[in-house]
Amino acid sequence: MMFAHGFGCDQTKWRLVAPAFEADYRIVMFDYVGCGKSDWSAFDVQRYGSLHGYAQDVLDILNAFDLRDVVFVGHSVSAMIGMLASIEEPQRFSRLIHIGPSPCYVNDAGYIGGFERSDIEGLLDLMEKNYVGWAAFLAPVVMKNPGRAELTEELQSSFCATDPRVTRQFARVTFFSDNRADLAKLTVPSHILQCSDDAIAPQSVGLYLQSAMPMTTFRQMSATGHCPHMSHPAETIALMKECLQQAS
Amino acid sequence: MKDLDPLLDSAPCGFLVVGHDGLIRLANATAAEMLGVAQAASLVGRHVDVLLSIPSRIFYQTHVFPTLCLQGRVHEVYVALIGSGGEEVPVLLNAKRRTEGERDVSDWILVPMRQRNELENEILKAREISEASSRAKDQFLALVSHELRSPLSVILNWATLLSRVEPDASTLKRGLEAIERNARAQSRLVDDILDEVRTQTGKLRLELAALDARPILTAVLESVAPAARAKAIDLEGDLPAEKLFVRADPNRLYQVFWNIVQNAVKFTPPGGRVRAAMRTSDAWVEAVISDTGRGISPEFLPHVFERFRQEQASPDRAEGGLGLGMAISRNLVELHGGSVSASSSGLGLGSTFIVRLPALQQPREADVETG
């Protein structure tokens, strides 16, 4: 079972959920390049210019350990990343569990993603502000002390902070991606867990996905917000187990 | 709602208790005041999402909330609240999670930061400008290298050719002329770059003297005449009979006029007209250089005198150059206490440049530079 974190943090987000599956599955967790404790120097602006670059991270890990029959659990943007990876190499996946997914965050004709482009630009500005201290004072310290793990640790204690330029690009790629056309290509069975009152992936998006994705089941969670695996781990675990039982 | 301690209610910062479900459990009077809400009680039961601007809402859901869950606290997070009138209220947020009965709640402290916010916006803007100017300098360096190399390769090619074969008289003449022309072009580029550096470091010095400005413009017209003739451009001077005294550095004034007249000839198609007139206007001596050339677009007009700026009307940059001439000219004219302006009715409609220098009324004979 592979857990993939969403935009804004790293694999530590899964710590309330992943242990519940340790007895039955081999658990694989990772940080995307540019997030958490990944090798920041591996960040390549070209490769990570679209979600396909992140999907390649997933496939690289699956290939490196030659993993098959993988249950891929993707939160937020990782749902689409997992979907892209499964379209690329379907034989590696047994099913996908999407938590709070959205194929397109920006509104379009006849489609409500929840945001306007200007909202996303506003987010990028806001992130820049929240990272201004990082960029001005901390980045040079870290860059000059590559061996000093505790410095990196200290930085991560703020927002699992990564390099703000990298985070900015991840934000851009996440929120400006439109994967609606890819949904129909999915050949691996999937399950959607949709939160109530999710400000990032509204109800309309869940309904859209339900109708556009082949071989999927849809579950409305009583959990509110965008991070049920952190705010409501018990319900998240229970629903995931139900999905898996249903599958077998 | 529980009654708040009066001290907490009126504390000089907003205070909220937010439930695990995102609903506000408690709010103090200062928070209500910050949001333009009359009663703190009316905030209770509302979802924090709706109090946040949309970008702040995304940031809260993807960054702040997970961090609160994992680490129990967040510090100095910049977010924008939405006041009752729809206005943005920038605040710094500190929040800490705690357990209340069986449930997790978080305590929020909100500090308004309107002034600091503006300052930080300025800083970010300044950083953008500095990054843009650093990019412009990189482009300029690339351009300089390119512009210096072109004449240099012509010189080298001719020098190699002339030394290898026994050239006939006309080839020799052609080669030497090409070498001289290109060496002069290169020397002008280097002069421009040095002037630019001197301007930037404040080391540009003028050797001022009282002088008649007319002969300087005449000399420029004579020097540009061959280039105008080669393009069949009608180059016309219109100078008054009386002397027009200014206090100026003659070499620098020559440079200014040359830059403008030479540009006019460069950007005027064959068969066009370039006219250079001089006149007095109130307390000013004005040189007016107008042409029937390709003109300046309204978008570019405000940037004509900026450094490194050239209008991209010709995609191949057929005319070459560094984009420094006009910036240097303006700087020189301003050092003389004057001004320079450009006007154009648009692309293809010609342009007019006016150089204004303070007129010198009755120069003492000893001051006047002759010849």
Q: Which residues of chain A have pLDDT under 50?
A: 135-140, 142-143, 151, 154-158, 160
Q: Are A126 and B62 an interchain contact pair (Cβ–Cβ within 8 Å)?
A: no
Residue B365, pLDDT score: 58
pLDDT band at B316 (very low <50, low <70, confident <90, very high): very low
Neighbours of B10 (CB within 10 A): 12
Whether B50 contacts chain A with CB within 8 A = no
Partner residue facing B61 (CB), from A120, A160, A225:
A225
Closest CA to B369 of B213, B172, B195: B213
Neighbours of B186 (CB within 10 A): 18
Residue B195, pLDDT score: 85
Closest CA to B274 of B255, B261, B287, B286: B261
Dist CA B322 CA B139 (whole Å): 10
Whether B126 contacts chain A with CB within 8 A = no
Q: Which residue, among A116, A176, A231, A235, would best test binding to B if mutated, counting the most B CBs under 10 Å from its CB? A: A231
Residue B335 has pLDDT above 80, yes or no: yes
Q: Where is pLDDT greater, at B145 or B365?
A: B145
pTM for the model: 0.63
Q: Which of A152-156, B53-57, B79-83 has the lowest mean pLDDT?
A: A152-156
Q: What one-character-per-residue DSSP string does B126-157 give?
A: HHHHHHHHHHHHHHHHHHHHHHHHHHHHHHHH
Q: Is the dihedral of CA A127, A130, A136, A139 positive or negative?
A: negative
Residues 6+ apart with CB under 8 A from B142: none
Residue A31, pLDDT score: 92
Residue B317, pLDDT score: 46
Whether A132 contacts chain B with CB within 8 A = yes
Dist CA A125 CA B92 (whole Å): 15
**Angle of CA points A19, A21, A27, to nearest 5°:** 80
Whether B62 contacts chain A with CB within 8 A = yes
**Residues A117-142 pLDDT 10s:** 999 999 988 887 887 555 444 444 54
**Angle of CA points A126, A131, A137, to nearest 5°:** 150
* B87-96 long-range contacts, CB within 8 A, separation 24+: B87/B36, B88/B53, B89/B34, B89/B35, B89/B114, B90/B114, B90/B117, B91/B14, B91/B34, B92/B116, B93/B64, B95/B18, B95/B64, B95/B68, B96/B72
**Tokens encoding A246:** 């249903």
In chain B the first and final C-alpha atoms are separated, in Å, by 94
Residue of A nearest to B65 (CA): A227
pLDDT band at B301 (very low <50, low <70, confident <90, very high): confident
Residue A135, pLDDT score: 47
Q: Are B78 and A225 an interchain contact pair (Cβ–Cβ within 8 Å)?
A: no
Q: Where is pLDDT greater, at A15 or B146?
A: A15
Amino acid B88 reads E
